[in-house]
Amino acid sequence: MNADKQATRYANIIFIKELACNDEQLFPFPIYRELREKTPVRFDEERGSWDVFRYEDVHRILKDPATFSSRRGLEVRGETLLTMDQPKHTHMRNLVNKAFTPKAINDLAPRITSITNELLDLVIKNGKMDVVHDLATPLPVIVIAELLGVPSKDRMLFKDWSDTMVKGVEGNSEEAFAQMVAERDKAEKELAEYFLTILNERRNKPEDDLVSALLVAEIDGEKLQEQEILRFCILLLVAGNETTTNLITNAIRIMTEQPAIQDQVRQHPEFVKTTVEETLRYYPPIVAIGRIATQDVEIGGQLIREGQQVVSWVGSANRDPEKFEKPDTFLPDRKPNPHMGFGFGIHFCLGAPLARLEAQIALEIMLSRFSDMQLAKAPLTPIPSPFVFGVKTYPITFTART
């Protein structure tokens, strides 16, 4: 099978016919519940893929990279931290972590606060805004662009590339898959060329940004290779932007669907952090994670053969009543909350601290500056990606607080 067919094969891996219309994509959780109860581990003949829906089974898969590999047959497209197995993954992650420490992320809090206030200043007099367009998209784009040393004039280019890299397919034909792969390849090539220019500039003149730090990061005298840095920058852009955008939007969506939560969190600011965690459980930005079995293995009484694709439905696992009390109820102060909204195991999201920080600051400021946030009357359109849970726009009205 050639590279394009491998890629299109994976692109189709987590399209399931049960989520066929917009309404189901906007709120897939009843379908997840039905599948979790009736067929917790099932094989989809049409897709040639296993689907896993229970928390215990998903947790087992994600914590066992030796049996369930992240490579998924796509190494021909270049490895990233998402697709590496041990021991290379640990070595690479340790290198990257030296330039992506929790302290470095926490030091961004004042700048994130400033950006959030600047963005809200632009809409507060209107009494309305599109959460996606006016805040949830530009905030992470600006933060990551500044981290990587990207000029402000190129930020929207970044967002366009990011959207293309995670876009799903329109339809279920080989032609649609081929078009999607071609668009992704073009975006990835343009991104690589863009970052290569920045890398060359930073080699000659280092600055206080992540690219300069990655260029000098060492463990046991070994530096990152150029292609590894390029792939990491692309991964950070795509995963960081999309995940944070949907996390912020989904949190506001919950607060407008259930207005009492707005008041509860506003009255108890200490709930902001747990509200972000509960959003990651209740409306996770990523609902499915793909793996491939490296050997014959039994999950939930089903025999999965070596080489078969396995999709872990995190969106279902996060609502498993065997793990969570009142799983379909949003509890802003839920503790403990062992959700898998950022994955689990060695591939736990590297950018999770940054996404959490941005979401916490965004919610704190919106709740302090706005009251009575409501969804404006407009049809919602889901993001056309089978593994991403989010909407293209989320218009709200509000009252400015003095």
pLDDT above 70 coverage of the chain, percent? 83
Query: Given a cut of 90, is residue 134 above it in pLDDT?
Result: yes
Query: What does 300-324 look like in DSSP terms, one character per residue?
Result: TTEEEPTT-EEEE-HHHHTT-TTTS
| Cα–Cα distance for residue pair 373/395, rounded to 1 Å | 10
Query: Given a cut of 50, is residue 77 above it in pLDDT?
Result: no
CATH of 3-400, picked from 1.10.1040.50, 1.10.8.50, 3.20.20.70, 1.10.630.10, is 1.10.630.10
234-281: pLDDT as tens digits: 877 776 778 899 999 999 999 999 999 999 999 999 999 999 999 999
Cβ(276)–Cβ(249) below 8 Å? no
| Cα–Cα distance for residue pair 42/225, rounded to 1 Å | 41
Per-range mean pLDDT, top range of 57-61, 71-75, 103-107: 57-61
pLDDT of residue 165: 74
Mean pLDDT check: name the lowest of 104-113, 135-144, 171-180: 171-180
Cα dist. 3→7, 48, 98, 232 in Å? 6, 18, 33, 21
334-358: pLDDT as tens digits: 999 999 998 765 545 667 888 999 9
Query: Given a cut of 90, is residue 331 above it in pLDDT?
Result: yes
Q: Residue 27: what are its φ and ψ, rounded to 5°?
A: -150, 80
Residues 212-240: what's their mean pLDDT?
A: 79
34-47: pLDDT as tens digits: 999 999 999 998 88
HSE-up of residue 292 (Cα within 13 Å, Cβ side)? 18
| Cα–Cα distance for residue pair 392/394, rounded to 1 Å | 7
pLDDT above 90 coverage of the chain, percent? 52
Instruction: Give the chain's mean pLDDT.
Output: 84
Cα 291 → chain centroid = 16
pLDDT of residue 171: 57
